[in-house]
């Protein structure tokens, strides 16, 4: 019952925030800031923007405190706000940002820091390249498919929760995920 207790605890904290308890908001912020930034980064592929969007997510959570009702999991509500902001940013930035990102990307790769304790430098580089390819393949998915995959694989959310976040049916989520995983399977087939 650990998961249920955690869910109730988050909702309880948010209800305390609704009553004006700033410390409870601090606890929620501390607990979810990292996961929200991580999710947003995977959505928008820009660390500065993901930090800004995360601030906006928690600002909206705080502003909405008076109307909060624990009808869904707190995380469902939180990720619905985050997904909405990420999709809006992607739509607004698509035409102006995509060229900048293409220009910047070839240089940065995250493969330069190779740990000494690994079996070999070559293996570490190969692993880093594979991770980068997976990251790029996920980033190349259509926005809703990407959001569904990130919530399913990285946030370990269930279909029902993803459906609530994306405001669609469970069967639509299954369809999104099926298409996304099929695309990823084809794009990453060469990795074995």
* Cα atoms in the Cβ-side hemisphere of radius 13 Å centred on 165: 30
Region 1-107: CATH code: 1.10.1740.10
Structure tokens at 41: 């980064």
pLDDT at 127: 77
Arithmetic mean of pLDDT over the chain: 84
Structure tokens at 169: 């049916």
Query: pLDDT digits over 109-156, tens only?
Result: 443 343 444 456 767 777 777 888 888 999 999 999 999 999 998 888
- Cα–Cα distances (Å) from 108 to 80, 101, 164, in that order, read 30, 11, 35
Query: pLDDT digits over 48-90, tens only?
Result: 999 999 999 999 999 999 988 888 789 999 999 999 999 999 9
Residue whose tokens read 């190969």: 126
**Rounded to an integer, what distance in angstroms lies between the CA atom of residue 124 and that of residue 176?**
33
Long-range contacts, 9-12 (Cβ 8 Å, 24+): 10/73, 10/74, 10/75, 11/70, 11/73, 11/74
Residue ranges, comma separated, of all CATH 1.10.1740.10 domains in the chain are: 1-107
Quick check: helix, strand or coil at residue 157?
Answer: coil
**Rounded to an integer, what distance in angstroms lies between the CA atom of residue 189 and that of residue 185?**
6
Q: What CATH fold (topology level) applies to the domain 115-192? A: Arc Repressor Mutant, subunit A (1.10.10)
Residue ranges, comma separated, of all CATH 1.10.10.10 domains in the chain are: 115-192
pLDDT, greater one: 124 or 178 = 178
Quick check: helix, strand or coil at residue 40?
Answer: helix
Residues composing the chain: 192
């Amino acid at each position: 019952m650990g998961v249920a207790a955690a869910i109730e605890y988050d909702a309880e904290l948010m209800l305390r925030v609704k009553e004006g308890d700033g410390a409870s908001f601090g606890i929620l912020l501390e607990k979810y800031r990292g996961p929200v930034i991580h999710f947003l980064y995977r959505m928008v592929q820009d660390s500065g923007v993901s930090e800004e969007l995360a601030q906006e997510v928690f600002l909206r959570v705080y502003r909405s405190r008076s109307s909060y009702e624990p009808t869904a999991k707190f995380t469902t509500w939180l990720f619905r706000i985050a997904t909405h902001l990420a999709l809006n940013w992607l739509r607004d930035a698509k035409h102006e940002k995509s060229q900048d990102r293409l220009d910047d990307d070839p240089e940065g790769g995250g493969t330069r820091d190779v740990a000494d304790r690994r079996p070999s430098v070559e293996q570490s580089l190969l692993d880093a390249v594979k991770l980068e390819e997976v990251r790029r393949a996920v980033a190349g998915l259509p926005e809703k498919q990407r959001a569904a995959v990130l919530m399913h694989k990285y946030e370990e959310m269930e279909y029902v929760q993803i459906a609530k976040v994306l405001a669609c049916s469970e069967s639509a989520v299954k369809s999104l995920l099926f298409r996304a995983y099929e695309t990823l399977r084809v794009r990453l087939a060469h990795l074995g």
